[in-house]
Amino acid sequence: MNIDFKVMGILNITPDSFSDGGLYFGDLGKIIDRVAKMTEEGADIIDVGGESTRPNSDEVPLDEELNRVIPAVEEIRKRFDTTISIDTRKSEVAEQALNLGANWINDVSAGRFDPKIPKIIAKHNATAIVMHSRECPKKMQDNPHYDDVITEVKNELQNSVNLFISAGVSRDKIIIDPGIGFAKRYEDNLVLTANLDKIAFDNYPMLYAASRKKFIAQTIESETKNRLYGGLAAIGQAYLNGARIFRVHDVAETVDFLKMSAKLAVFKSITGGKK
């Protein structure tokens, strides 16, 4: 079958990420084992992060983030032929990781935190994930407000994309992300997930990152460890509405789910939806 989606496996090298903090922190052996497992399960991209950007999180000093991320990137690149994404807001982390063979930069601030990031990405002809958010992680959930969340997110994403293009990033190297859970109210996350097709513009690929996030638990009234099935339902809606890259903790389950979704979509197109 033709696979029209990509799965990004999350690798948080942090002590405090909301779901898996501490699992791989400070242990290269565990990091490599985790990458091997996610790759075997079908991950196309490994997203390496050394700073938690969960709500109310504090900034990690540059030296500490480098110490967490750079040895891991170096080891992953030696051992695996996979796309490496770096989840960072800092241009120095991005630069050093790209020098070691990383391919994508996933900046949740879309260049607002460190305006040098777009130029670093352009210099390396790397891929930029341009995500929507407001404020910094420490303050982003302090009463976020939208009059029209679809229109405002789309317009702000367009402005961010224009900044990256003006810095020299190639149009074919840009991926957009609506920023589920970042400066969003509960209802905002639901509205955006159900209307991703209205946020899309200029044929930029869309990444959807809702894995284990709070709005899923709020909907299904479950703890973190039990958010998988609610998350897959959200992924299914996002897929139907045009998202094709999915950042997740649960790689194997997501790959199987999307394989089935993609196959059904193919057969619907062949039959034209006829019974």
For the question of whether the overall pTM of this predicted structure is more than 0.75, the answer is: yes
Where residue 233 falls among pLDDT bands split at 50, 70, 90? very high
List strand residue ranges (DSSP E) for 110-262, in order. Answer: 127-131, 174-177, 207-208, 245-248
Rounded average pLDDT over 216-236: 87
Q: Is residue 56 scored above 80 in pLDDT?
A: no
Averaged pLDDT for residues 110-116: 95
Please name the residue that has the structure tokens 């290269």.
Answer: 28
Q: Rg of the chain's alpha carbons, rounded to an integer?
A: 18
Q: What is the mean pLDDT of residues 215-219?
A: 93
- Please tell me the predicted confidence (pLDDT) of residue 94: 98
- pLDDT at site 150: 98
Answer whether CATH 1.10.1760.20 is correct for domain 6-271.
no
pLDDT at 64 exceeding the cut of 60: yes
Burial per residue of 84-115, b for 16 or more beta-carbon CB atoms within 10 angstroms, e otherwise: bbbbbbbbbbbbbbbebebbbbbbbbbbbbbe
Parse the chain into domains and list their residue ranges: 6-271
Given a cut of 80, whether residue 28 has pLDDT beyond it is yes
- Tell me the average pLDDT of the chain: 91
Angle at CA of residue 44, ends 40 and 46, nearest 5°: 90
- Amino acid of residue 45: I
**Known catalytic residues?**
213, 247
Instruction: Say if residue 24's pLDDT is above 60.
Output: no
What confidence category does residue 54 fall into, taking pLDDT thresholds of 50, 70 and 90? confident
Q: Is the pLDDT of residue 128 over 50?
A: yes
Question: What integer is the mean pLDDT of 101-121?
Answer: 96
pLDDT for res 14: 84
Write down the pLDDT at residue 18.
46
pLDDT at 17 over 50: no
pLDDT confidence of residue 268: 74
Q: How many Cα atoms sit within 13 Å of 166 on the Cβ side?
A: 9
